[in-house]
Structure 1
């Protein structure tokens, strides 16, 4: 097949704003107002045809198949006005007011506009006379508070149109496929902007002649009127429920920044540390049945539902004489549970039977009846951090950047986490500790020929094979040397520096070899394009 595609995106933006500043004695006022207009038009034309005559000179006209022409189109426009007013009294009382009024074509007519105000305030305590007796090493103390709202219009274009697509039917009329239309989906005509409201309290510190600076923030972010299926409809309807502004998400978190900069003789150094964390919970949503396959009220984002692993089945769990060599399963002794639909063999996974009915399953997959599944972990990275440090001594400069995560769980089902995951799959060196007669204490369960038998049960989401996603990564390390100023001035240069730099120098983690802790996209299970290690050597010359 030969395919020819032509895509164009015309994006136009117009921004107009003006500033006004005024200072009267100890009063400072700054005003800003503006206009924002954006338009985007996307078009695609595609033509394809089978039966290319020459692979060396492919073209639509030099093919023998039936030509197929397709196209795609989308556009949107945004109009907004915005303003900001900042006021300061003596540099110690600070007040800021901002606001936006936006309209977007992504929403139905009559529901396209929204007003999003914000307010912030600051108090520089160290400029107060009653705190003039603070220790000399306390240079700055500033308290901050803010509350603001922004709008979210990140939804597909034409989401309020009951579109019908033209497709080829699965039946023939007169010996040929006919063109038909798909049934339109249900749409709501009154949904509008989702609103993100953020409350923030913070403090800034400058200590020891500002060699040590610190910033601490606590925030709560409420995302209201999120678009989600507004009602639950029976599956017999044949289509999904319309989108409505019915969901809400609340996120709470903190961020701490510390920085120290000093000099010891000819050695200068700096160290900066940033630590932040957040947790998000669903506060409202339409899921009256409490289905675990959907979001539900009070759900923490990133929850991993699965079974709790007890141990591996042993020969002693089966009635004597019930096991056979053809791996069809044996008769379990009374009180030994099994997975629903499974006939276990020695070496298979034995899961915890929480409801005590002898059968391990997912129940009705609801909050009220989750069966034997529980929340076994959370994939949201917790306590993320960054470290930025540098040292300089007589022309030499060494700097590095580190980032990482203290706590996270990941469920990855791929060839690197399970032996013999797929038919004819390879076995890696760290997967050889699997169950077999004589190795009953193995880490991995029994494996089956061509990944058949109970292998799918053994590889269910469970606590035994939940991965630790914590890591430390050396993002960058750079060593540079600058020639002395006295030398380069003789050759009429301003600066000459040579350097060597390494990106992604190394990563410390507890994942199987070959997996990256920051690559865990849905679908590829960690086999996305990897982070590359890059080496750079160069010169910087300034005239």
Structure 2
């Protein structure tokens, strides 16, 4: 509040000084501002006395009057979409100017299969340019726009280096099928499926090569992608060359990463005290060391990134070639990612610019080192035991328990288990566009041929000296998993654009073909006779299992779109796509996906003349369409068989052999279809110094795909994927952009976006009453804490209501528990139905992981050559089940085995639970948060070294602070917190040099 008052006093002082300037001699200048091409008056054009804050805007007739302070001899004239002009006064009292339309009026926005003028958009489309991307050590491209777009939630599941974030556009539309958006890079739609050995399928694309990212949020914008557009579309445009002298750019940076939050299990001293209190008979099991296992696993992570690019071109061609290298260490030992990337773009114009040929190639080789999953082991292992036991040669000199059920020494796992991956992904496309202006003006033809190759290998080796295998009778194992995904694309379409009178129309018709292939050979071995390991010779193993998976599917589409403009007032867009997918049976193979949208520029109407002095932009949009989802699996409509893995082998004597087993199927499987309504209002004030977008959306998904239980004997498995029901998703989005200061030496821009969203299941199993339990947790066997129920948000938590004492401490009991760890009496949980029995009827629907509100805030300030940017992101109303606490926060863990004890979660000291209370809502916490995602500062030195080079230096901090009441490690994730890889705070410094 104090800061607000300070700002108010500053504004008052500025206003006073501006008013005082009128007391001195001044000049009055009048004039008229018009459009250079049409001669029409420009309403709301801005006139500023250069070097001061004195200014005015033109009226409805384009006229203005400005009292110019003494000593000022220059005026600046600007208008949205027009080139800014500075004009000397030189004693004149009348200055009339005709402004020339600049880049903004001709600015185009990439949409599906083409582009449109920004002013002609009818759908919900948001474009983020490179200048406003998030900065720092970013591996996955989608993190560039986290917090930047209303209705788009981008959150990383953990701090694992290179792990891809979860992206949800307007909450997602499915339960069991994919909720990921469709990604299209330079016109090539990608498969979201990754391969073994990698962390995210998008990591092959170097963020330094991206020019812009466009999000298609509603059906009127995304329906042109038909069966793949239900969860929105993200169009990624990479940088292209510019004609002229070759330009060389080099960027180098270094990063340092540190752990923010420490894990919450007990240190050695506290653990001894707890054992003394809760299980004194086990004191003899404790050791004499004081080991912080979590600290033994964490490290300061270092990284680097290098990017080199060269671009240029002549009168008829342009090119850009870039190469990049990135390496990042995680804050957990043994976690690392490395990428070498290459990007080539080339454009050639032929036959007097009638034929345009474009070629693009993007590829990357990535190497990953995976930590062997030691975080939970570090939380469980007894902190009174040492790391090493030199006498224990069977376990390579590490301290270990000789018990197959005991936790494993996490340091031993980190140093002995090798888990590496390598992936290569390359996409390329050749575009041909021919303009038939000589034959039919406005007619053009475009063809796109593209490919996508994604291959990977994961090698995992566990030596004979690692305790898990040794205590189970094995003598080492290895796994070599390979994967190859390929797809081929052919798109071809005609576009005809024409003007007649005050109307403008564009019609597009096309055909698309894309096939997808997967092959995954794997080999596994147990009982190694040697610890030698290599990809060519993994060592001799007694038991070796090999299998291969082959999957093919294809998508064939016909599509069309019409854009119609009447008098620059009424805009109409309609699209229709018919898709055929081999993922469905013959009776449900084809789907039809239509959309239509209208937009009305209100300020163009005569009756709105009185609004022109207030508004600089006012456009109403409404759209409706249907999109589909077929991203859920292959051959699920056919009875097929597959090889088993190590978990599903059959025992013959002392040997385990793989089997061929049938998969469940549903011959009537069909599309998920999402019908979407969008209503939007684009507005601007003060020559768009303040602008915004207000939107309401409603999406209804029918024929939801989900894997459900079926009666034994009715199918080839007890679970089958089928169409079960419907859900509804609705929300309100508000985006505000403000140019608070725009002076020559100082500028300040603010952007905020706010999303209010709600999702509800409206039908399940076609009956409207069936519940489906889901949300598996660590602890017990088959325990779940979430539910799908009609009328509730998907994945709502389903728990007992905990009872509390007068001090607010959860009640505990010491009596009998059933096999699921649930108390058999009513001492600790509420009997909601009052029948005197505690059972499933007393479980109650709680909150859900999905946030009610999404927040994003960006500020950019410049002072001279210094630029500072900040991005904050937040969620409100998302709830988290603290599984780390529910599984580890009880004293029974001290007495699990005959010769070992396990550490407990620190919450047990407060709750004093003797046994796990997996189904208590005590562990359900509000995960609302505000995170400072990104803080960056850069200084542009301009031309240096005798004007031979230009230099910019910068520094960035990521994840600087987190405000939340959640008691666990981090409130972001899938809603069930089971101690994921901790997030890091990352500092980056770097420099860019241009020639």
| Maintained 8 Å contact 1:416/1:512 | no
Which residue does 2:314 correspond to in 1?
none
Q: Distance in 2 between matches of 1:14 and 1:542?
A: 38
Q: Distance in 1 between matches of 2:528 and 2:652?
A: 27
Give the 3-state SS of the residue equivalent to 2:991 in structure 1.
strand
| Maintained 8 Å contact 2:725/2:766 | no
Q: Distance in 1 between matches of 2:974 and 2:603?
A: 47
Give the 3-state SS of the residue equivalent to 1:414 in structure 2.
helix
Structure 1 gaps, min length 5? 319-326, 331-338, 363-370, 435-443, 449-454
Which residue does 1:440 correspond to in 2?
none
* 1:291 and 2:771 matched: yes
Alignment of 1:261-340 (within 5 A): 261-263=739-741, 265=743, 266-286=745-765, 288=767, 290-291=770-771, 293=773, 295-312=788-805, 329=815
| Maintained 8 Å contact 1:419/1:425 | no
Which residue does 1:133 correspond to in 2?
610
* 1:386 and 2:856 matched: yes
Measured at CA, do residues 269 and 56 of structure 1 come closer, stay the same or move farther in structure 2, by a change above 3 Å? same
| Maintained 8 Å contact 1:501/1:537 | yes
Q: Distance in 1 between matches of 2:772 and 2:482?
A: 43
Query: Taking CA–CA contacts closer than 8 Å with sequence separation of 6 or more, which of the two structures ends up with the larger relative contact order?
Result: 2
Measured at CA, do residues 69 and 60 of structure 1 come closer, stay the same or move farther in structure 2, by a change above 3 Å? farther
* 1:407 and 2:882 matched: no
TM-score, normalization by structure 1: 0.80
Alignment of 1:494-513 (within 5 A): 495-512=950-967
| Maintained 8 Å contact 2:692/2:736 | yes
Cα-to-partner distance string for 1:25-45 (whole Å, 9 max, x where unaligned):
311111222222111111122
Q: Distance in 2 between matches of 1:178 and 1:446?
A: 46
Which residue does 1:46 correspond to in 2?
522
Q: Distance in 1 between matches of 2:757 and 2:962?
A: 23
- For residue 470 of structure 1, the aligned residue among 928, 934, 940 is 928
| Maintained 8 Å contact 1:275/1:384 | yes
Deviates more, 1:296-305 or 1:111-120: 296-305
Cα-to-partner distance string for 1:15-63 (whole Å, 9 max, x where unaligned):
2233222122311111222222111111122234445444335566952
Measured at CA, do residues 472 and 180 of structure 1 come closer, stay the same or move farther in structure 2, by a change above 3 Å? closer
Q: Distance in 2 between matches of 1:233 and 1:46?
A: 31
| Maintained 8 Å contact 1:85/1:98 | yes
Which residue does 2:916 correspond to in 1?
456
Give the 3-state SS of the residue equivalent to 1:131 in structure 2.
helix
Alignment of 1:173-252 (within 5 A): 181-182=660-661, 185=664, 187-228=665-706, 233-235=710-712, 239-240=717-718, 243-252=721-730
| Maintained 8 Å contact 1:328/1:343 | no
- Which of the two has greater helix per residue? 2
Measured at CA, do residues 533 and 52 of structure 1 come closer, stay the same or move farther in structure 2, by a change above 3 Å? same
Between Structure 1 and Structure 2, how many residues are aligned?
484
Aligned-pair distance for 1:163?
Answer: 2.0
| Maintained 8 Å contact 1:473/1:506 | yes
* 1:534 and 2:989 matched: no
Deviates more, 1:99-108 or 1:135-144: 135-144
Measured at CA, do residues 169 and 408 of structure 1 come closer, stay the same or move farther in structure 2, by a change above 3 Å? closer
Cα-to-partner distance string for 1:276-312 (whole Å, 9 max, x where unaligned):
1221111222175633526333232242222222314
Cα-to-partner distance string for 1:323-367 (whole Å, 9 max, x where unaligned):
xxxx9649xxxxxxxx975368xxxx62222233333332xxxxx
Cα-to-partner distance string for 1:98-119 (whole Å, 9 max, x where unaligned):
1111111111123211110110
Q: Distance in 1 between matches of 2:853 and 2:663?
A: 45
TM-score, normalization by structure 2: 0.45
- For residue 92 of structure 1, the aligned residue among 547, 553, 569 is 569
Aligned-pair distance for 1:446?
Answer: 2.1
Cα-to-partner distance string for 1:56-75 (whole Å, 9 max, x where unaligned):
35566952525432111111
Q: Distance in 1 between matches of 2:547 and 2:865?
A: 62
Measured at CA, do residues 477 and 181 of structure 1 come closer, stay the same or move farther in structure 2, by a change above 3 Å? closer
Q: Distance in 2 between matches of 1:176 and 1:425?
A: 33
Which residue does 1:336 correspond to in 2?
none
Q: Distance in 2 between matches of 1:169 and 1:402?
A: 50
Which residue does 1:324 correspond to in 2?
none
Q: Distance in 2 between matches of 1:249 and 1:42?
A: 32
| Maintained 8 Å contact 2:885/2:923 | no
Q: Distance in 1 between matches of 2:956 and 2:937?
A: 6
Which residue does 1:26 correspond to in 2?
502
Q: Distance in 2 between matches of 1:192 and 1:81?
A: 19
Measured at CA, do residues 536 and 341 of structure 1 come closer, stay the same or move farther in structure 2, by a change above 3 Å? closer
* 1:154 and 2:639 matched: no
Which residue does 1:56 correspond to in 2?
532
Deviates more, 1:287-296 or 1:297-306: 287-296
Q: Distance in 1 between matches of 2:569 and 2:602?
A: 7
Aligned-pair distance for 1:172?
Answer: 4.7
Aligned-pair distance for 1:533?
Answer: 2.1
Q: Distance in 2 between matches of 1:516 and 1:229?
A: 29
* 1:120 and 2:597 matched: yes
Q: Distance in 2 between matches of 1:352 and 1:3?
A: 49
Aligned-pair distance for 1:251?
Answer: 0.7
Q: Distance in 2 between matches of 1:534 and 1:261?
A: 30
Give the 3-state SS of the residue equivalent to 1:130 in structure 2.
helix
Alignment of 1:405-444 (within 5 A): 405-415=875-885, 419-420=889-890, 422-423=893-894, 424-426=901-903, 431=907, 434=909, 444=910
Measured at CA, do residues 68 and 228 of structure 1 come closer, stay the same or move farther in structure 2, by a change above 3 Å? closer
Aligned-pair distance for 1:527?
Answer: 2.4
Measured at CA, do residues 329 and 57 of structure 1 come closer, stay the same or move farther in structure 2, by a change above 3 Å? closer
- For residue 352 of structure 1, the aligned residue among 830, 854, 858 is 830
